[in-house]
Amino acid sequence: MSSALASLIAELGDHPDTHHPDTHGPDIHGPEAGIVVTDPDIVASYRHDRAMDPSAGTPLAVVRPTTTAQVQTVLRWASAHRIPVVPRGAGSGLSGGATAVDGGIVLSTEKMRGITVDPVTRTAVVQPGLYNAEVKKAVGEHGLWYPPDPSSYEICSIGGNIATNAGGLCCVKYGVTTDYVLGLEVVLADGTAVRLGGPRLKDVAGLSLTKLFVGSEGTLGVITEVTLRLLPQQHTAATVVATFDSVQAAANSVVEITGRIRPSMLEFMDAVAINAVEDKLRMGLDRGAAAMMVAASDDRGAAGAEDAEFMAAVFERAGATECFSTSDPVEGEAFVAARRFAIPAVEAKGSLLLEDVGVPLPALADLVSGVAAIADEAGLTISVIAHAGDGNTHPLIVYNPADPAMTARAHKAFGDIMDLAIGLGGTITGEHGVGRLKKPWLAGQLGPEAMELNRRIKAALDPDGILNPGAVI
């Protein structure tokens, strides 16, 4: 153990937890486990997030604080010793935003799990280690709802959601994470803790610093507490499911729908995703369909039914081969669950390079057809699923990492898809973040002036560059 790390352990009043998982010692993930973890086997499990970045380094230790004061101690120590700190939530990230670096530490917020709900102001004060699903459940007990709903909502943390400005299926109507963040407590690189915003629906005092940290991917500070805006519980949705023999026809229907109404969900799956899901769930999906749309409206009473009728009519005019509507919540949720399961279902066919490029809605059909052309040129399977209502797509590149030639084609296709999105006036990431995997394409989207402004802000808040080095900026 290095003397620097020993000094951190002493400052925290902790002892390193060095037991191995195959012994009978205390559970490394239990509440009795220490703050600083140095066991090599355990540390190795924190090297990657779900992106499995092959360039991941080996950190000195994993540090798992429970309080803001402990986070301050860690960052003061790291700043004094110029040691990199990679903040990490639940490790469900898909862009390499929580990739460990050699000689640094991974600061995991998994043990920060407090929540207080105020039903009068419709707010919740939450620590970052809680899962999105746990927050939904806690506020639901008060008749309230936290809308952002990534497909991984059962396993992703609120801290990670804020770090990447996560979205989800209902964003077409309800917006993304930043729309529900009223305030933050953030620890800066030098250990200073600052409170930004608070439980006020309208507050324009000073610069909008709260929003600056949402989506910053741990490069500007470590979020230790968040004040969330909540809504009354969502109404039961009317759901419409349509299948098409043309991807283009399905994509074209999106513009007409969103031009007239705001559905609570408007999702797209291509043939590869449909069949992958059917392989696993056996729910009777049409294996011959080129595309499937899952749409919903949660407006009250007659308005929801009218929206559902309108969407069904649009789908039929666009050439849907089959269109099914239901107001039964169990039936509707079955199709939503099928859409949520698309990524793990496709992943069962091979390793994935997963993207989340987005474009303005009129360009959605061009993006989908462009991805198909890239797949044909590369000789690869690339499945496309999408939050179609907001133009955010998830091309899933299936490849075998043991095949060098296929791996090279997959990585080229990855870049080609991002170039395509930028060329269509879109973005390299709608909700997963830039991380390390998409960093090479960021300047191409932002341009030199905006990139330089990003770097200046990073340098002002983290002059020694210790926070998540190599990510984003």
Identical fold at 3-108 and 236-347? no
Q: Are 252 and 246 in contact (CB under 8 A)?
A: no
How would DSSP label each residue in 192-249? Answer: -EEEEE-S-SS---SS-HHHHHTT-TTSS-EEEEEEEE-EEPPPPPEEEEEEES-HHH
* Closest to 71 (Cα-Cα) out of 217, 226, 224: 224
115-232 topology per CATH? 3.30.465
CA–CA separation, 90 and 232 (whole Å) = 27
pLDDT of residue 30: 46
Residue-level pLDDT at 14: 80
pTM: 0.92
Q: Which amino acid is at 260?
A: R
Identify each DSSP E strand in 112-219 by its residue range: 115-118, 123-126, 144-145, 181-187, 193-197
pLDDT at site 34: 83
Per-residue pLDDT of the chain (473 residues; tens, 9 = 90+): 678 899 999 999 886 554 433 333 334 444 446 899 999 999 999 999 999 998 999 999 999 999 999 999 999 999 999 999 999 999 999 999 999 999 999 999 999 999 999 999 999 999 999 999 999 999 999 999 999 999 899 999 999 999 999 999 999 999 999 999 999 999 999 999 999 999 988 889 999 999 999 999 999 999 999 999 999 999 999 999 999 999 999 999 999 999 999 999 999 999 999 999 999 999 999 999 999 999 999 998 899 999 999 999 999 999 999 999 999 999 999 999 999 999 999 999 999 999 999 999 999 999 999 999 999 999 999 999 999 999 999 999 999 999 999 999 999 999 999 999 999 999 999 999 999 999 999 999 999 999 999 999 999 999 999 999 999 99
Distance separating alpha carbons of residues 295 and 55, to the nearest angstrom: 39
Q: How is the chain split into domains, by residue range?
A: 3-108, 115-232, 236-347
Structure tokens at 124: 């919740």
Identity of the residue numbered 362:
P
Neighbour-count burial for 396-414, b at 16+ CB within 10 Å, e otherwise = bbbbeeeeeebbebbeebb
pLDDT at 383 (0 to 100): 97
CATH number for the domain whose boundaries are 3-108 = 3.30.43.10
Q: Which residues pair with 399 in a beta bridge?
A: 351
Q: Per residue in 278-311, is it b (16+ CB within 10 Å) or e — as a string?
A: beeeeeebbeebbbbbbbbbbbeeeebeebbebb
What's residue 114's pLDDT?
97
CATH domain 236-347 topology: Alpha-Beta Plaits (3.30.70)
